[in-house]
Amino acid sequence: MKNSIKIINNYEYKKLFLPDVSEHNLFNENKIQVYRIENYLRSILMPVIPYRTTFNFLIFVTKGSLTQHLESASYTLTENQVINIKQGNITATLAISDDVEGFFVVYENEIVTDIELGINDIKFFNSHPFTTLKPHVAHWIQQMLMLLEEELFTEGRVMEVCISMMQCILLKVIKSDIETKAPMSRQLDIAFRFCEYVQKFHNDHKNVLFYANLLHISENYLNKCVKEATNKPPKQWISEISILHSQILLQDATRDIAGIAFELKFQSPSYFTRLFKKITGYSPSDYRKHKFMAG
């Protein structure tokens, strides 16, 4: 069976999506890397087929706009907005304005694990990938990224200094995000954890009870928490995330629709087709033609 979604490493990402990157930067394997959006990402050919990465990355827009797909949502970043993409997330850049400017920052997992984060910090880091920074915070982060960029490109760079600077930047984003949001209630926490579990297990588990058992709560209470937090019942979340993954697989024209239905473990191809049409408004074959084969 083919891998559902391509997993790409640092080198492959730069080869695919940073067409103007220098030979030196292409083979750069530092655990932190900083690139200017205006110098690299503007050259990406759209649309980009979704992928996963073996590294984390942060996009910070200082001018213009950039739209990034992340798991089951799309986010349009404008001035002073940040999105954090974790290793293994399904993502893709959907649109970039001609005047976009900002920073694309690659960092490995140990940069995060070495920060002493409290439980609320971790929840916000995992549950709120997108945030709008206050102007003074955005200015501070921009200055720090410029210093980090300078240090990384200095011949005698000290990686310990670079790591400390990156950790400060991440902490500033997290703390700024927490300041602008109310404390996470138990119900909201359950809803976020449910959504994370669905992303992980939807292929094999499409019944709500499985997730209630994982969270050590009753099915009724899970229904209540998720519906109040998101305005959608858990069953709808499971269906929509499964269909989202099928949309990604449909981008590969060599894949058979019935095969996709069985790969994602739907009851039957006909059930998959009915659910797909209910959620997207298209049958799988019409969706494929309309989205990817027109012209």
Question: Are the C-beta atoms of residues 78 and 64 closer than 8 Å to each other?
Answer: yes
Closest C-alpha among 52, 35, 58, 54 to residue 174 = 58
CA gap 31, 104 in Å, rounded: 14
User: Using one digit for the tens of pLDDT, what is the confidence trace for 64-81?
Assistant: 999 998 887 788 999 999
Task: Using the predicted structure, report yes or no on whether residue 189 has a pLDDT greater than 70.
Answer: yes
User: How many angstroms separate the Cα of 178 from the Cα of each of 10, 112, 131, 218?
Assistant: 30, 17, 10, 29
pLDDT band, residue 115 (cuts 50/70/90): low
Among 113-127, 138-152, 188-202, the least confident range:
113-127
Locate 129 and state its tokens. 């990938």
Cβ neighbourhood burial of 46 (10 Å; 0-12, 13-18, 19+): exposed
Cβ neighbourhood burial of 20 (10 Å; 0-12, 13-18, 19+): exposed
Question: Residues 6 or more apart from 266 whose CB is under 8 A from it?
Answer: 242, 272, 275
Locate 250 and state its tokens. 């449909």
The pTM of the full predicted model, rounded to 2 decimals, is 0.68
User: pLDDT higher for 268 or 117?
Assistant: 268
23: enclosing H helix or E strand: helix 23-26
The CATH superfamily label for domain 7-180 reads Regulatory protein AraC (2.60.120.280)
> Where along the chain do its domains lie?
7-180, 186-293
Residue in the block written with tokens 């200094």: 161
- For residue 127, what pLDDT is reported? 64
Highest mean pLDDT pick, 97-101, 106-110, 252-256, 284-288: 97-101
pLDDT band, residue 18 (cuts 50/70/90): confident
CA gap 23, 274 in Å, rounded: 49
Would you identify the CATH topology of the domain 186-293?
A: Arc Repressor Mutant, subunit A (1.10.10)
Among 13-27, 135-149, 206-220, 231-245, the least confident range:
13-27
234-250 helix and 219-230 helix, angle to the nearest 10 degrees: 70
